[in-house]
Structure 1
Amino acid sequence: MDDKPVAYRASLLHFTDDPAWNDNAFQWHEDGLLIVRGGRVQAAGDYHQLVSDLVPHAKVIDCRGKLIVPGFIDTHIHYPQTDIIASPSSGLLPWLDDHTFPGERAFADPAHAAKVATFFLDELLRCGTTTAMVYCTVHPESAHAFFEESDARNLRMIAGKALMDRNCPSYLRDTAEGGILESERLLKKWHGHRRQMYAITPRFAASSTDTQLRLAGELAQAHPDVFVQTHVAENRDEVAWIKELFPDARSYLDVYDRVGLMRPRAMYAHCIWLDDHDRKRMADTRSAAAICPTSNLFLGSGLFDFASADAARMPLTLATDVGGGTSFSMLRTMNELYKVARMGGVHLPAMRMFYLATLGGARGLQLEGTIGNFASGAEADFIVLDPHSTPLLTRRTAQAGSLEELLFAFAMLGDDRAVAAAYAAGCLVHARDAASLTKSEAPGNH
């Protein structure tokens, strides 16, 4: 990796806290400079204050007229569901049976898994997502294929093999002990390998026996720096089914809690049908919720309760949940997030939506300081957003009288076209128009 500093001049925004609780939660430099060296952030601030810190003849990429923010962090997404996105169904459980499970069968083939992983990561980067928490299938081959492709691009990704030893087709079924042993082998190979990280992944409580969940909890306790990901309280029919399967559990969430799967670095998708006791347990254990608005609307699962979650101070993050979710774009996901909140009587400022998609995701994953903002020494994962990417966005942002209005326009009107470029560890990994990114300037000339 080239150790020479490279600087990017643009409007610069990142967060230092949750805007819901802190009025000074962000840093915005209208004429900003982001200095990257050795794949990490060296400095971020006002152009005229930092330009003198550059060594003579350092390269400055001129992105004026655009907005640089940290790369988006998608905390819940299924790469094997790429090809079944937008599949019609009457609800979550039929959708799994009719589309998801049959589609995942092919991932026993490493060549197929690698082909889908390549497209999946291309699509994430095109939409400005530089980190994701990813579900693979039950097949170890699917996890190896994903990590190999991610590692080749030097992306910061988290993924895990699904654990399923019941209530699924026989062709997707592992065993309680065998699934855990396969997970342990995968985490020993991939967790901490360069920028790859592993997640212990019981698909959802209905698809794992008590024994498998208990063994997953033991594995999680033995490896506290490894992640946990699963689903909880997504759909009322699912919640009722869990009650039948686990009659002694206080709630759906308690099924996981009693086996030791609630802890820092645990990510719970959906969290719609929780009660106040559950929300307090989420906060007390620092387990994070992945809010999945497009998926919840598409499958008719319900509306996330922002007011109750905030009252409990639950750690919150944002996720697309492809393929139940209908877009890889975190900007389009913000659009649906805002509407879900409004239906519950809550107004979400754009500032908070961008926080949830960046530093909020990093905090939920216990990765603050590594990704999610431009703190000195953080990995240089960032994206360049173009307010002139579509005629309508151009027209609307021209009328924006504040940073909040600009961000809100991106959230309501933006999509993958708004992402001019994405960088991972300081390297360009996506460019909408490569020619527009090659203009450089010598420091001190303006």
Structure 2
Amino acid sequence: MNGLHLGQTLTFTGDPCHEGPGAARHERRGAVLVEDGRIAATGAADDLRAAHPDAPVTDHGDGLLMAGFVDAHAHYPQTGIIASWGKRLIDWLNAYTFPEEMRFDDPAYAADVAGRYLDLLLSNGTTTVCSFCTIHPASVETFFEAAELRGMRVAGGRTCMDRDTAPEGLRDTAQAAYDQSRDLLQRWHRRGRARYVITPRFSPTSTPEQLSALGALWAENPDCLMQTHLSEQTDEIDWVKSLYPQARDYLDTYQAHGLLGRNGLYGHAIHLEPRERDRLRETGAALVHCPTSNTFIGSGLFDMPGLLAEGNTVGLATDTGGGSSFSMLRSMAAAYEIGQLRGRALHPSELLWLATEGSARAMRMNDRIGNLEPGREADFIVLDLASTPAIAQRAERASDIWEAIFPTIMMGDDRAIAATYLAGHAVQQPGRPSTSTQ
């Protein structure tokens, strides 16, 4: 819907992870002008109202307008098993993930979960997600169809596994992985707001032949993203070395088969060796931090300080359902806590940047989403910075915008999302207070 949205506004003029909080711009009484699904202008409310006197106005009061959250690594098929008690990664996969993913051979079941998952994201202020699907083409089709129905920008792909380390019923072949991924890519990539992602689950569940087949598909379609997992747990790394004895390290199992590149998204990346860190930086590949998953499954502490200092591209994610929340607010809070244990307290501006522009950059979509910048798609949210009594009483003491926002980052949930907009259209969320239009 075209018009002016009034409230506090938060935009980024640079990267606060390297430039400090000054790279963020806060307007105490700001406005966002939306035209034809895109942001046409941002600035002081009085200035934009004077410049566009006939524009319809939606006043969000003290709500904070900012870009919608961008979740750069998730598994929507794990929606139903989120917060399942478990031990280590492999135990968790075998006990919960693989049995649940087998159910996605039923298109009706896949469609139900896809719709429920996207609605949960929208209620938590996430407007873009990059998700693994399952081996079943129907899981991909229903995911993209559900997003198309909602007008939501998403990326996703068919998860490929052909080793007997994956259970029967979730295994394919190198040729089937290539053929079915190619067919889905041709049907969905760049259709509306959809982007296809080439998706080997990880090296332990793929043979060298399958990795090579997917590497060839990526070479044929270099504008696609490629997503996988890397160095999540130490016993996983030992497993990879036993399966790929000729590889120099875990990353080399991808590099040797054409699966290392600038458009690659490597989830977790906790226990990296020096060569891996160097190669990832040199190629411009993106690392995706999944903090609630890393603590929930006991994987380790992501080296945010070191990787940022080295110049790596880093995004943030929930990693549903290994991650224990659908909320990117919770991911930001966990990233702050892990940063503290690593000796670097991430500033609120850095956390918000990682959850928006940073993840958009990781997904190579920062020309479209991730910031309230003219020309970008009008996917934005309105944050209530006093959504609960506990948050409100802390925010009342704030001396600046960062002190006002930080309690919501640390204690907020879906109640903090006063409104969500996709391409300028409000997402209907039952129970939310209505905004005033003048």
- TM bucket normalised to smaller: over 0.9
Stretch of structure 1 that moved more, 143-152 or 362-371: 362-371
Q: Which residue of structure 1 aligns with residue 79 of structure 2?
A: 82
**Cα deviation, residue 222, structure 1:** 1.1
The equivalent residue for 1:119 is 116
How many angstroms apart in 2 are the aligned matches of 1:193 and 1:255? Answer: 32
Cα distance per residue 1:166-197 (max 9 Å; x no partner)? 11111001111111110000011001000000
Q: Which position in structure 2 is the counterpart of 1:390? A: 388
Aligned to 1:172, the other structure's residue is in SS state: coil
Match of 2:359 in 1: 361
Q: Which aligned pairs between 1:40-439 and structure 2 lie closer than 5 A? A: 40-56=38-54, 58-166=55-163, 167-431=165-429, 433-437=431-435, 439=436
Structure 2 letter corresponding to 1:105: M
Q: Quick one: distance in 1 between partners of 2:373 and 2:263?
A: 21
Shift of 1:436: 2.2
Q: Which 10-residue stretch deviates more, 73-82 or 14-23?
A: 14-23
Length-normalised TM-score, structure 1: 0.96
Q: CA deviation at 1:311?
A: 2.7
Amino acid aligned to 2:38: R
- Any conservation in 1 of the 2:9–2:65 contact (CA below 8 Å)? yes
CA distance in 2, matches of 1:38, 1:386: 26
Cα distance in structure 2, aligned partners of 1:374 and 1:261: 33
Task: Count how many residue pairs are aligned between Structure 1 and Structure 2.
Answer: 436
Residues 343-390 of structure 1 deviation map (CA, whole Å, 9 limit, x = unaligned): 111111111000000000111111112000122110000000001211
CA contact (8 A) 2:123 2:420 kept: yes
Letter in 2 for 1:68: L
Contact 2:177/2:214 (8 A) holds in 1: no
Per the TM alignment, residue 432 of structure 1 is displaced from its structure 2 partner at its CA by 5.7
For 1:369 and 1:227, how far apart are their aligned partners in 2? Answer: 15
Give, in angstroms, the shift of residue 120 of structure 1: 0.2
CA contact (8 A) 1:44 1:374 kept: yes
Residue of structure 2 in register with 1:11 after alignment: 8
Q: Deviations over 1:209-230 (max 9, x none)?
A: 0011011111111111111000
Which runs of 5 or more residues in structure 1 are unaligned? 442-446
Kindly provide the amino acid, as one letter, of the partner of residue 9 in structure 1. L
Amino acid paired to 2:66: V
Question: Under a length normalisation based on structure 2, what TM-score does the superposition of the two structures give?
Answer: 0.98
Bigger drift between 167-176 and 252-261 goes to 252-261
Q: Is the 8 A contact 1:293 1:336 kept in 2?
A: yes
> Match of 1:444?
none
SS state at 2:261 partner: coil
CA deviation after TM superposition for structure 1 residue 434, in Å = 4.5
Shift of the 388–307 alpha-carbon distance from structure 1 to 2, 3 Å rule, reads: closer
CA distance, structure 2, for counterparts of residue 16 and residue 190 of structure 1 = 33
Identity of aligned residues (%): 43
CA-to-aligned-CA distance 1:307-347 (integer Å, 9 cap, x gap) = 22123211011100010000000101111111111111111
2:226 touches 2:263 (CA, 8 Å); kept in 1?
yes
Q: Secondary structure at the match of 2:42?
A: strand
Is the 2:178–2:213 contact (alpha carbons within 8 Å) kept by the matching residues of 1? yes
What is the distance in 2 between the residues matched to 1:235 and 1:28? 39
* 1:301 counterpart SS class: coil
Deviation at 1:87, TM superposition (A): 1.1
More divergent stretch after superposition (229-238 vs 43-52) = 43-52
Query: Structure 1: how far apart are the matches of 2:340 and 2:249?
Result: 27
Q: Counterpart of 2:148 in structure 1: which amino acid? A: D
How far did 1:285 drift? 1.0
Q: Is the 8 A contact 1:16 1:359 kept in 2?
A: no
- Structure 2 unaligned runs (5+)? none
Separation of aligned partners in 1, 2:305 and 2:373: 30
Residues 35-79 of structure 1 deviation map (CA, whole Å, 9 limit, x = unaligned): 0011000001111121122152x2110002110110000001101
1:103-140: CA deviations, max 9, x gaps? 11110000000000011001000100000000100000
8 Å CA contact retained: 2:418, 2:433: no
Q: What letter is aligned with 1:257?
A: Q
1:284 CA drift (Å): 1.2
SS of the aligned residue for 2:169 comes to helix
Deviation, 1:257, is 1.6
Aligned-residue CA RMSD in angstroms?
Answer: 1.1
**Aligned AA (2:70):** I
Q: Which has the higher mean CA deviation after the structures are superposed, 14-23 or 107-116?
A: 14-23
